[in-house]
A and B are shown apart, each in its own frame.
Chain A
Amino acid sequence: MIHVNTTVNGDPAEFLCEPRETLLDALRDRLDLTGAKEGCGTGDCGACTVTLDGRPVCSCLVLAAEADGREVGTVEGIARGEALHPLQRKFIEHAALQCGICTPGILVAAKALLEKTPDPSETEVRYWLAGNLCRCTGYDKIIRAVMDAAAEMRENA
């Protein structure tokens, strides 16, 4: 077993894991953070997206041991207390989710986009989110929610 010291959503966290264990499994099974989902386990669907030192990654393709000394961000860390992030509010308002299984990964990915690119075009949003599969919505309302959240964040910036 490997002893991992890491930071998750700004808080210190530590766990023991097997060398071959994924970050996704460690988050879900050792830290009880089940917001990140396993849709495929092969990096194709994006449902497990988290940030590692601010960069979005498929946590099913990252070894848990790699989180040592680094900062992990998950969907559970997006809201501030009871105040939702504009992306979270806009996703609810636009009905950008139906079943909601892809939502955590898409929110984490979209937040990373808007931190880098506050005024993305529709095409930029579509290509940035091309690694996050949604089977319910046809993406229309997701794209609108992200664009609308970006506009609101620019106004309040």
Chain B
Amino acid sequence: MAFDEKTGAFKVVGTRPDRPDGVDKVTGRARFGADASAPGMLHAVIIRSPHAHARIVKIDTSKAEAAKGVKAVVTRVDFAAGLKGEPWNILENVIAGDTALYDGHAVCALAATSLLAAKDAAKLVEVTYEVLPHVTDVDAAMQDGAPVIREGAADSSVPAGMHPNVVRYHESGHGDPDEGFAEADLVIEDHFVTEATHQGYIEPHACLATLGGDGRGELWCCTQGHWNVQKVCAALLGIETSKLRVAASEIGGGFGGKTAVFIEPVALALSRKANRPVKLVMPRADVFRATGPTASTSMDVRIGMKKDGTITAASGVFRCQGGAFPGAPMEFTAMCAFAPYNLKHVRQVGYDVMTNRPKQAAYRAPGSPMAAFAVESVIDELCNRLELDPIEVRLKNASREGTKASFGPKWDRIGLVETLEAAKAHPHYAAPLAPGAGRGVSCGFWFNHGGETAVQLALSEDGTVQLSVGTPDIGGSRASMCMMAAEELGIPYEDVRTTIADTATLGYNEISHGSRVTYASGLATIEAARDTIRKLCRRSADKWGIDPEAVEWRDGAAYPAGPNAGDHDPLPIREIARRMGRTGGPIVGHYEATPEGAGVSFATHIVDAEVDRETGATKVTRYTVVQDAGKAIHPTYVEGQYQGGAAQGIGWALNEEYIYGADGRLQNAGFLDYRIPVASDLPMIDTVIVEVPNPGHPYGVRGVGETSICPPLAAIANAVSNAAGVRMRQLPMRPSRILEALEGQGS
């Protein structure tokens, strides 16, 4: 797809206006998932398995149904039968069939006239379980004799002889790694482990559902993608997609975790049964137990290097545990692992492994941060032993335009080298280190995504415009949409209002994921504005009695394109809008497509960390993010994405982990024991926005949301390892693990 690139100076893009929903969000007016209510509304509670793996022998709901205020109870029989493929997997996760597959797996739900009545009644539901053997560790789940989560779950990619819990397999690369390793002066191979972490959005999943016996329904929910919710819920309830209208609330964080469907079909089923609106809000413990953590991993990486820093070969095996369903992002882990490097010999293998844990969900660049942790740790160790500068080594081996990617294609215009050069030139990299502190560097890569997109831009009679997009605003995207529309139309930023439309208003919009919103909805907004401009020019041409081609649009007005077009006063958008009812009717521009030119994004992070050798506690003292944004539409919100990704990475590297007991139960299902970074844990996070334009977007935009979490795990691990003088191979690097490593070093 070719686009007219904007070559002139930007007037709005690149400035830093206030976000249009700012006042709503600082006054408490913004309505999030749990903030909606309806007349006659019921409150719902979900009853969940306390066992990691158990056959459901019997669910006796008679006492609960008889309790005061209870209006509906649902189990698996209240959902569609005969589903196959992914809809079946989703239903099986939303509400268990014959078997509870993890601690927290939903088995039953009820709705009552108050939340307290629903909670009381939930205690009266009697579920009889036959407990089965379980496995929660990725390596253990692959061993002979490990309990089988589900027979027949593997697809045809899995080599013969693997355990049935290995359900998908990936292999890619080129050249002959053995030949490459033979050319190396030093080869390092190491084993790395990362634990599952949660996206940790502060807003629990919440929805308000209304569904009648006629199959017509309305759903309000916090989600990253309401068209997907509509499609999935319709399938799981056995109704036609268009009969269900879904509106997205403001969303209190998602980071990938709200791309999946968990509670909405349950609320709809309860509403259908009770014939009343049903509100369902997940308690925080359920969010941890039953919604998308990321995959945990076990990885082996081997890299060969010459004394001058040239990487001669690289190979890696990446085992990703994704809970009780197929889908761990092991192919992304494998494909991202060596993406920053131009390698003659490279091979990567991935395994998708099932365990008795919740179904993993996407978490910001799913799979990539773990791969970077393993690969960039080995590169750091090679640099240390060969006494080479870590940025120089990365520059020497960096992927560039035209080189062959580790996973196959040739790179288009990419900005990795520019991020490395900017990091090298940054004062942080030259700053002296305090005694006992360590510095770490890492690169990171994410693909970015386009996806199905539809937008509409309607002109109001006063010349302002109403832009409708279908991608929930998860971090300020309304502002960048308003900016791109204003830029293209040549009108003030304040004259554009952006609304997140519901599923009845626009064509299908893919989820807000893959760092796609500013890229794809932005591209569609620009094209819808251009469509509007064509219509504005035609109205002007009609008025002037000339060809539309003889009209040009600039600075928010139509002008005769040249002397041959005649002598006409310019027609500002306000003038055309005021008369549009009499000149042909409403003026609306629109654009629908699946843009495929999402430019990939690279980043380089620099971290300083101190390690307390007595307590094992780590403190990140300085952090710098350098990342290619292609073109930053609203630089402040781009910085915010960089800082947010870095902070989540700090949590993943140092504190956060899912801890399962021998009984297979999650032991830290709350923010007290699952500790995400708090304000006093972090330093200011410095950012450098590099702009290497993406040829696939009219303004050069690349997605920025996800790449920022790719380098931190490795950069922090390298800083901590260099501070402690011992290589840290397992995340999180909690104090006990650091003390163990220090003791091991002493002996």
Task: Return B705 CB to nearest CB of chain A, in Å.
Answer: 10
Q: Does A10 contact B (CB under 8 A)?
A: no
A99: B residues at CB distance < 8 A = 201-203, 250-254, 474-475
The CA of A126 and the CA of B671, in the complex, are separated in Å by 18
The CA of A13 and the CA of B158, in the complex, are separated in Å by 64
Task: Return B37 CB to nearest CB of chain A, in Å.
Answer: 8
B679: A residues at CB distance < 8 A = 125-127, 129-130, 132, 134, 139, 142-143
Q: Does A93 contact B (CB under 8 A)?
A: yes
Task: Return A126 CB to nearest CB of chain B, in Å.
Answer: 4
Choose, from B15-23, B490-498, B513-521, B581-589, the stretch at the interface: B15-23
The CA of A29 and the CA of B200, in the complex, are separated in Å by 25
Q: Does B46 contact A (CB under 8 A)?
A: no
Verify B31–A138 contact, CB threshold 8 A: no
The CA of A125 and the CA of B34, in the complex, are separated in Å by 29
Verify A92–B18 contact, CB threshold 8 A: yes
Closest 8 A/B residue pairs (Cβ): A35-B28, A101-B252, A138-B647, A100-B25, A92-B22, A44-B671, A138-B643, A98-B475
Q: Does B162 contact A (CB under 8 A)?
A: no
Q: CB-nearest residue of chain B relative to A88? A: B26
The CA of A137 and the CA of B643, in the complex, are separated in Å by 6
Verify A103–B26 contact, CB threshold 8 A: yes
Q: Does B593 contact A (CB under 8 A)?
A: no
Residues of B within 8 A of A (CB): 16, 18-19, 21-32, 34-35, 37, 115-116, 199-204, 250-255, 281, 283-284, 474-476, 636-637, 639-640, 643-644, 646-648, 670-672, 676-682, 684-685
Q: CB-nearest residue of chain B relative to A40? A: B284
> When A95-B476, A125-B679, A143-B679 are in contact, do A103 and B116 touch as well, CB less than 8 Å?
no
A102: B residues at CB distance < 8 A = 202, 252
Task: Return B656 CB to nearest CB of chain A, in Å.
Answer: 11
The CA of A127 and the CA of B680, in the complex, are separated in Å by 5
Residues of A within 8 A of B (CB): 18, 20-21, 25, 28-29, 33-42, 44-45, 47, 74-76, 78-79, 84, 87-88, 91-95, 97-104, 107, 123, 125-127, 129-143
A127: B residues at CB distance < 8 A = 679-680
Verify A74–B28 contact, CB threshold 8 A: yes
A97: B residues at CB distance < 8 A = 22, 25-26
> When A92-B22, A138-B643, A138-B682 are in contact, do A40 and B671 touch as well, CB less than 8 Å?
yes
Verify B27–A133 contact, CB threshold 8 A: no
B644: A residues at CB distance < 8 A = 98, 135-138
17 CB contacts below 8 A, A to B, read: A34-B34, A39-B203, A42-B672, A44-B672, A88-B23, A91-B22, A98-B474, A99-B254, A100-B250, A126-B679, A129-B679, A133-B202, A134-B202, A135-B200, A135-B648, A139-B677, A141-B636
Among A37, A100, A138, A141, chain B packs the most CB atoms within 10 A around the CB of A138
Q: CB-nearest residue of chain B relative to A106? A: B679
Verify B643–A95 contact, CB threshold 8 A: no
Task: Return A61 CB to nearest CB of chain B, in Å.
Answer: 12
Q: CB-nearest residue of chain A relative to B250? A: A100
B37: A residues at CB distance < 8 A = 29
Q: CB-nearest residue of chain B relative to A89? A: B26
The CA of A98 and the CA of B639, in the complex, are separated in Å by 11
Verify B670–A40 contact, CB threshold 8 A: yes
> When A41-B283, A125-B679 are in contact, do A95 and B26 touch as well, CB less than 8 Å?
no
Verify B28–A33 contact, CB threshold 8 A: yes
Q: CB-nearest residue of chain A relative to B474? A: A99
> When A95-B636, A95-B640, A104-B28 are in contact, do A38 and B204 touch as well, CB less than 8 Å?
yes
Verify A76–B27 contact, CB threshold 8 A: yes
Verify A91–B26 contact, CB threshold 8 A: yes
Verify B203–A101 contact, CB threshold 8 A: yes
B115: A residues at CB distance < 8 A = 25
Q: CB-nearest residue of chain A relative to B638? A: A95
> When A136-B475, A141-B643 are in contact, do A101 and B202 touch as well, CB less than 8 Å?
yes
Q: CB-nearest residue of chain A relative to B117? A: A18
